[in-house]
């Protein structure tokens, strides 16, 4: 039976367990019963409601109300979308190599990409002819906080592929720091200290690996370790690390600056799927920040690869962690904007578990049992992964297996747990398909405003024109402002947005043009100072043995140098300063048949270093359309045969 014939059952049912949802959706059912209202908005035709849809329209010339920071997954980049239009506004290269901007090739970007590498990675990369990693796997974009609200300073992102943390400056939307985390293996969960401000960036080392990972203990997985790291948000240095039991998955911090909690799977500490899911309980681990800082002061840490590392495993006597058993393989970990509650999403269990942060006080003091922190448990549906919030007491949990978002009420859930006869479930909405993260406008702050939520679906299947075997993902916009959730937009996205955070536009004030003295240009500024050159004024070629430094301006529609001459074998660095002080007037610099290209935004300087090993006339041109005479904005690099 084809998908069409069976009414879409196989599509919705891809991962096996969404049967109830499927039947309801197939029938186009809108079912309500008893105290519980469950709405299936149904098939691909029926789920957009005209009024809600219009609310999401942003007409030409009008601006969006929110910035969305979208992970680029294994593309390694960060993206900015406007909400509610879901228009993609910008791509910010981070862990990837970017053909347009020269990220990964310019000296400015290479400084960012190489400064924070561990000595071991640096040695490995140079042994294979690389300066830095060429890929990344960016899951979690997290904007910085002051007192539980977004403060517009930075967005932090993880790299699961190469164990890194990166920081993006929100004034210029550029990555300015990347730190590889030593001792950990694969950074996954990433959250920030909320109070008094960020502070610490909390990085979950997902995989267990030998500590130190230098070729010993290969066959002794029981001795491998999973490591939790706190990184200083300003210096981007690792402040401390804690060894834990089990694999760290996602984490979140409270609103008081006292605790961080993390879900852990594989409490069995196995290495195969069967071993990792053997027992029916895993746990969350809770970190006590004050106790950790005290233990470091008291000299309880061991220094490993230059970092202070504490033992926070189950058998540790330091009193810095507690372990609370929860159902097998919990995943999402979400602090509610009420500042009091923490939601743990079951993944393999159809439930979410509610914790109260304050109850950890007595548990750390030894006055009560770890389980006493649990104040609620709701059966939400199959495959709960993440929960977001509307600031009005409702929670929205993504159901991966059911391909649904379930809206439930926190207060009712707490009352139900105490034995009252209330059903906390408000509504279930079909999404398409297999949702991972869900995030609402300001949902991770105390300013959660309950306007929109985005459902980041892992599969799009039939939702867009068929583009071959590799389909886009589907990021859906849901209007959560009313009693009922309404799906208003499908947005195809490229591999693979795991997560997104959404900030009201009033919170961010990016610059229109660069400040020409910005520290981001320090590489160029330092060389110009050494060479006695004024960036943005002088056009000059400086020869220094085999090293040639070429300084030029770019002002539409001409480069400051019509040509420059070097010798085969020279190491050439070209510095280009965009002297146009005009909004949106970017230039570029590309050398033909040399693999050289870079972006130069208004008032910026960019530089790139290469070996002039190919003799001949090589045009350079501006690759950013900047002027009616943009095509004429070019010049020639003349490379002489050596000895000529």
List residues near ligand CUA by CB under 6 A.
556, 587, 622, 624-626, 630, 633
Check whether the bond before 212 is cis (ω within 30° of 0).
Answer: yes
List the single partner that 188 binds among ligand RUQ, ligand CUA, none, CB under 5 to 8 Å by kind: ligand RUQ
Nearer to ligand CUA, 229 or 578 (CB): 578
Nearer to ligand RUQ, 276 or 608 (CB): 276
Nearer to ligand CUA, 464 or 625 (CB): 625
* Distance from C-alpha of 636 to C-alpha of 634, rounded to nearest angstrom: 7
Instruction: Rule CB under 6 A: say whether 190 interacts with ligand RUQ.
Output: no
CB 233 within 8 A of CB 185: no
Binding mask 355-394 for ligand RUQ (x = CB under 6 A): ------------------------------xx--------
CB 641 within 8 A of CB 568: yes
Q: How far is the CB of 353 from ligand RUQ (least distance, A)?
A: 16
List the single partner that 446 binds among ligand CUA, ligand RUQ, none, CB under 5 to 8 Å by kind: none
Q: Given candidates 167, 174, 283, 331, which one binds ligand RUQ under the rule CB under 6 A?
A: 331
Check whether the bond before 611 is cis (ω within 30° of 0).
Answer: no
Instruction: Rule CB under 6 A: say whether 188 interacts with ligand RUQ.
Output: yes
Spatial strand order in the sheet of 634-640: 563-567, 634-640, 616-621, 587-591, 596-600
Q: How far is the CB of 172 from ligand RUQ (least distance, A)?
A: 26
**Phi-psi map region of 381: left, alpha, beta (phi>0 left; psi -120 to 50 alpha):** left
List the single partner that 556 binds among ligand RUQ, ligand CUA, none, CB under 5 to 8 Å by kind: ligand CUA
**Phi-psi map region of 87: left, alpha, beta (phi>0 left; psi -120 to 50 alpha):** beta
The pair phi, psi for residue 158, each rounded to 5°, is -100, 160
Q: How far is the CB of 557 from ligand CUA (least distance, A)?
A: 6
Instruction: Rule CB under 6 A: say whether 540 interacts with ligand RUQ.
Output: no
Q: How far is the CB of 454 from ligand RUQ (least distance, A)?
A: 13
Nearer to ligand RUQ, 164 or 437 (CB): 437
* Distance from C-alpha of 543 to C-alpha of 547, rounded to nearest angstrom: 6
DSSP H or E run through 289: helix 289-297
CB 284 within 8 A of CB 264: yes
Strand 473-479 vs strand 486-493: parallel, antiparallel, or unpaired?
A: antiparallel
Nearer to ligand RUQ, 74 or 636 (CB): 74
List the single partner that 38 binds among ligand CUA, ligand RUQ, none, CB under 5 to 8 Å by kind: none
For residue 400, give both structure tokens.
């991966």
* Distance from C-alpha of 31 to C-alpha of 49, rounded to nearest angstrom: 17
Residues forming a β-bridge with 608: 106, 574
CB 173 within 8 A of CB 80: yes
DSSP H or E run through 542: strand 540-544
Nearest to 358 by CA among 377, 344, 339: 339
Nearer to ligand CUA, 194 or 587 (CB): 587
Quickly list DSSP for 140-152.
Answer: --EEEEETTEEEE
Q: Given candidates 142, 258, 437, 567, which one binds ligand RUQ under the rule CB under 6 A?
A: 437
Q: How far is the CB of 590 from ligand CUA (least distance, A)?
A: 10
Nearer to ligand RUQ, 152 or 436 (CB): 436
Nearer to ligand RUQ, 257 or 330 (CB): 330
Q: How far is the CB of 347 from ligand RUQ (least distance, A)?
A: 9
Q: How far is the CB of 626 from ligand CUA (least distance, A)?
A: 3
Q: Work out the angle at residue 212's Cα, subtended by the Cα atoms of residues 167 and 228, and round it to the nearest 5 degrees.
A: 45
Side-chain-side CA neighbours of 156 within 13 Å: the count stands at 29
Nearer to ligand CUA, 191 or 587 (CB): 587
* Distance from C-alpha of 291 to C-alpha of 313, rounded to nearest angstrom: 14
Judged by CB under 6 A, the chain residues 209 through 268 that form the site for ligand RUQ are 250
Nearest to 453 by CA among 392, 520, 402: 392
List the single partner that 322 binds among ligand RUQ, ligand CUA, none, CB under 5 to 8 Å by kind: none
CB-based closest residue to ligand RUQ: 436
List the single partner that 633 binds among ligand CUA, ligand RUQ, none, CB under 5 to 8 Å by kind: ligand CUA
What is the SS3 assignment for 242?
strand
Instruction: Rule CB under 6 A: say whether 164 interacts with ligand RUQ.
Output: no
* Distance from C-alpha of 486 to C-alpha of 478, rounded to nearest angstrom: 5
Binding mask 106-145 for ligand RUQ (x = CB under 6 A): ---------------------------------xx-----
List the single partner that 560 binds among ligand CUA, ligand RUQ, none, CB under 5 to 8 Å by kind: none
* Distance from C-alpha of 442 to C-alpha of 505, rounded to nearest angstrom: 11
Nearer to ligand CUA, 118 or 539 (CB): 539
Nearest to 557 by CA among 628, 454, 455, 460: 628
Nearer to ligand CUA, 284 or 586 (CB): 586
List the single partner that 630 binds among ligand RUQ, ligand CUA, none, CB under 5 to 8 Å by kind: ligand CUA
Binding site for ligand RUQ (CB under 6 A): 139-140, 188, 250, 331-332, 385-386, 436-437, 498-499
């Amino acid at each position: 039976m084809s998908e069409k014939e069976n009414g879409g059952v196989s599509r919705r049912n891809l991962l096996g367990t969404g049967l109830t949802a499927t039947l309801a959706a197939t029938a186009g059912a809108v079912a309500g019963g008893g105290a519980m209202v469950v709405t299936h908005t149904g098939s691909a035709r029926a789920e957009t409601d005209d009024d809600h849809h219009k609310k999401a329209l942003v007409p030409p010339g009008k601006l969006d109300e929110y910035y969305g920071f979208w992970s680029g997954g294994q593309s390694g980049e960060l993206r900015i979308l406007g909400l509610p239009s879901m228009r993609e506004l910008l791509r910010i290269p981070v862990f990837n190599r970017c053909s347009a901007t020269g990220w990964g090739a310019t000296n400015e970007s290479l400084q960012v990409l190489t400064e924070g590498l561990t000595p071991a990675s640096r040695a490995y990369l140079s042994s294979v002819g690389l300066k830095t990693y060429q890929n990344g796997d960016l899951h979690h974009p997290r904007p910085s906080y002051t007192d539980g609200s977004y403060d517009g300073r930075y967005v932090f992102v993880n790299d699961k592929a190469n164990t890194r943390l990166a920081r993006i400056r929100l004034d210029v939307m550029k990555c300015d720091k990347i730190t590889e985390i030593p001792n950990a293996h694969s950074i996954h969960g990433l959250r920030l200290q909320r109070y008094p401000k960020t502070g610490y960036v909390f990085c979950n080392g997902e995989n267990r690996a030998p500590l130190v990972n230098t070729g010993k203990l290969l066959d002794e997985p029981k001795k491998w370790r999973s490591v939790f790291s706190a990184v200083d948000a300003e210096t981007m240095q690792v402040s401390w690390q804690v060894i834990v039991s089990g694999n760290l998955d996602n984490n979140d911090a409270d609103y008081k600056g006292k605790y961080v909690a993390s879900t852990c799977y594989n409490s069995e500490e196995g290495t195969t799927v069967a071993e990792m899911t053997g027992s029916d309980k895993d746990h969350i681990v809770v970190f006590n920040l004050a106790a950790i800082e005290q233990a470091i002061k008291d000299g309880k840490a061991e220094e490993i690869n230059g970092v202070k590392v504490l033992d926070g495993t189950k058998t540790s006597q330091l009193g810095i962690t507690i372990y609370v058993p929860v159902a097998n393989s919990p995943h999402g970990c979400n602090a509610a904007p009420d500042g009091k509650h923490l939601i743990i999403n079951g993944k393999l269990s159809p439930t979410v578990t509610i914790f109260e942060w304050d109850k950890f006080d007595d548990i750390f003091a030894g006055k009560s049992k770890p389980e006493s922190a649990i104040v609620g448990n709701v059966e939400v549906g199959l495959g709960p992964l993440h929960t977001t919030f509307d600031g009005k007491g409702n929670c929205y949990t993504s159901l991966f297996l059911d391909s649904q978002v379930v809206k439930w009420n926190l207060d009712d859930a707490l009352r139900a747990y105490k034995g009252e006869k209330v059903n906390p479930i408000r509504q279930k909405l079909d999404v398409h398909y297999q949702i991972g993260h869900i995030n609402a406008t300001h949902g991770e702050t105390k300013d959660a405003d309950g306007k929109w939520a985005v459902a980041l679906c892992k599969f799009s299947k039939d939702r867009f024109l068929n583009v071959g075997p590799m389909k886009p993902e589907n990021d859906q916009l849901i209007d959560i402002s009313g009693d009922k959730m309404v799906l208003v937009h499908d947005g195809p996205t490229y591999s693979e947005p795991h997560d997104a955070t959404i900030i009201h536009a009033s919170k961010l004030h990016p610059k229109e043009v660069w400040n020409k003295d910005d520290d981001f240009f320090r590489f160029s500024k330092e060389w110009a100072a050494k060479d006695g050159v004024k960036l943005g004024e002088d056009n000059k070629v400086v020869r220094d043995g085999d090293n040639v430094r070429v300084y030029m301006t770019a002002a539409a529609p001409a480069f400051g140098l019509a040509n420059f001459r070097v010798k085969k074998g020279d190491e050439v660095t070209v510095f280009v300063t965009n002297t146009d002080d005009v909004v949106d007037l970017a230039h570029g610099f590309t050398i033909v048949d040399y693999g050289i290209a870079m972006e130069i935004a208004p008032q910026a300087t960019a530089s790139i270093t290469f070996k002039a090993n190919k003799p001949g006339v090589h045009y350079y041109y501006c690759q950013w359309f900047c002027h009616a005479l943009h095509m004429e904005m070019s010049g020639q690099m003349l490379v002489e045969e050596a000895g000529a």
